[in-house]
Amino acid sequence: MRERRAERLEALGWRTGDAAAFLGLSAEEAAYVEVKVRLAEGLRRRRAALELTQTALAEAVGSSQSRVAKMERADATVSLDLLIRALLALGATRHDLARLLRGR
Amino acid sequence: MRERRAERLEALGWRTGDAAAFLGLSAEEAAYVEVKVRLAEGLRRRRAALELTQTALAEAVGSSQSRVAKMERADATVSLDLLIRALLALGATRHDLARLLRGR
DNA sequence: TGCATCCATGTCCGATTCGACATATACAGA
DNA sequence: TCTGTATATGTCGAATCGGACATGGATGCA
């Protein structure tokens, strides 16, 4: 039987599979990152819906423009805690958070 | 018309309303606490379902028994970040997290 | 081409959160 | 009652995360 693509690539020294496998993330780390990215996207959409700049949002939640930018980029230096606090400050409910985690 | 109960109590100097109002929490703070409590309960249930002690869970996630106890009590010194990491370490998916936030 | 606005990224250092430990409480079985 | 096991709580030094600031790039508009 003809060799599958993944096996052929691996024979050449390539890592195959999804982004997590490529980056060497555990399933847990991958799940964590996905949760963070979803909250980050949710924050950006919510801010856009309110037609706020990052600076305006920063003022509203007592933070800084640079940190808001990092939140929305799901930067590694931003905790889920801060992301969730920011979303709640924009009026998100726990149901909204649930929707962000479930959705797509 | 007969005075409503809330008004009567307030006339006597009592704060009325829900726990948040009583404790002087903003809507945002109240929402944050509720999210934390839900995740905390979810963690405890998941640990119980796996029949792990807090000590065993602590080892599994690289923490300590005392911190696990605080997580499950929704202690103020525990971040949502840590709670979510612990849940994911126990195999929860983002859908499970969504369910915890939505549920009841 | 200048100027303004918006967002991204790196760094600093003070604040918060972490794991660890000590210790306390609660409850079970011998 | 004594012993062991599970959980709760307070504290500490170390690690991580936070806001602030500086700066750079991108876009739009005069």
Q: Do A89 and B28 touch (CB under 8 A)?
A: yes
Residue A56: nearest nucleotide (C-alpha to C1'): C6
The pLDDT value recorded for residue B25 is 66
Strand C contact at CB of residue A45, distance < 7 A:
no
A76 touches chain B (CB under 8 A): no
Question: Total domain count for chain A?
Answer: 1
Q: In this predicted model, what pLDDT tens digit does every residue of A45-65 receive, in sequence order?
A: 999 999 999 999 999 999 999
**Residue span of the structural domain in which A36 resides:** 25-102
Look at residue A30 and tell me if it is in a domain: yes
The answer to the question of residue B83 being in a domain is: yes
Residue B7 within a domain = no
Q: Write the CATH number for A48.
A: 1.10.260.40
Picking from B80, B87, B90, B100 by the largest number of A CB atoms within 10 A of its own CB, the best residue to mutate is: B80
* Residue B18 within any structural domain of the chain: no
Q: Are A28 and B89 in contact (CB under 8 A)?
A: yes
Query: What DSSP designation does B2 have?
Result: P
pLDDT in tens, A50-104: 999 999 999 999 999 999 999 999 999 999 999 999 999 999 999 999 999 997 6
Rounded CA separation B53/A34 (Å): 28
Question: Is the pLDDT at A9 greater than 80, yes or no?
Answer: no
Domain assignment present for A76:
yes
Give per-residue pLDDT as tens, B31-75. 999 999 999 999 999 999 999 999 999 999 999 999 999 999 999
Per-residue three-class SS string for chain A: CCCCHHHHHHHCCCCCCCHHHHHCCCHHHHHHHHHHHHHHHHHHHHHHHCCCCHHHHHHHHCCCHHHHHHHHCCCCCCCHHHHHHHHHHCCCCHHHHHHHHHCC
In a domain, A1, yes or no: no
- Closest by Cα among A38, A31, A99 to B98: A99
Which amino acid, A67?
R
Q: Is the pLDDT of residue A5 over 50?
A: no
CB contact under 8 A, A79 and B84: no
